[in-house]
Amino acid sequence: MAGNRTFTMIKPGAVKAGHIGSILKHITDGGFRIVALKFTHLTKQKAEGFYAVHSERPFFGELTEFMSSGPIIAAILEKDNAVEDFRTLIGATNPADAAEGTIRALYATSIGENAVHGSDSDENAAIEGNFHFAATEMF
Ligand code: CMP
């Protein structure tokens, strides 16, 4: 059965460009309820821990430098079929391929600086949410 929670981050580029409010509105207008929300700044080490699954990829250094380059918004979101529906809302990883009207089509500048993260499975949504939030911070 599809799960009802996913995890997202608004990445440093979109935060710097002033898109926090627009992106959160896009998310809640899309039918997602905010379960947990945090404005924080990842250390390089924390970014490496979060993206450990990509540690062998050629873009790992660039990705973790970028993700620790400025503050981010982290959030857990709730909706039926959350992981799949959120991936539809944000669009393809590379904004050049993202469907019109999606968050990445509107706010991303490149595949590396692609505005938002979205979990790719129910299992990773739980792992990623627990990476950033204690149970007492989920409502
Ligand atoms: P995200 O959904 O946060 O998950 C992993 C991230 O790695 C992805 O978004 C992209 O920002 C980044 N990424 C994936 N492929 C590349 C690439 N070829 N070059 C740079 N960054 C990439």
**9, two tokens:** 């981050």
26 catalytic per annotation: no
User: What is the rounded distance in angstroms from the CA atom of residue 14 to the CA atom of residue 109?
Assistant: 9
Positions of E strands within the chain: 5-10, 33-40, 72-78, 116-118
92 lines ligand 1 (CB under 6 A): no
Rounded distance from Cα 92 to ligand 1 centre (Å): 11
pTM of the model: 0.97
- Checking if the pLDDT of 1 tops 80, the result is no
DSSP state of 114: -
Nearest CA to ligand 1 atom 2: 117
Q: What is the pLDDT averaged over residues 117-121?
A: 98
Structural domains in the chain, sorted by start: 5-137 (3.30.70.141)
Pocket lining: 117 vs ligand 1, CB cutoff 6 Å = yes
C-alpha to C-alpha distance for 24 and 7, rounded to whole angstroms:
13
Instruction: Examine the pLDDT at 5 and tell me if it is beyond 70.
Output: yes
Q: pLDDT tens digits for 11-65? A: 999 999 999 999 999 999 999 999 999 999 999 999 999 999 999 999 999 999 9
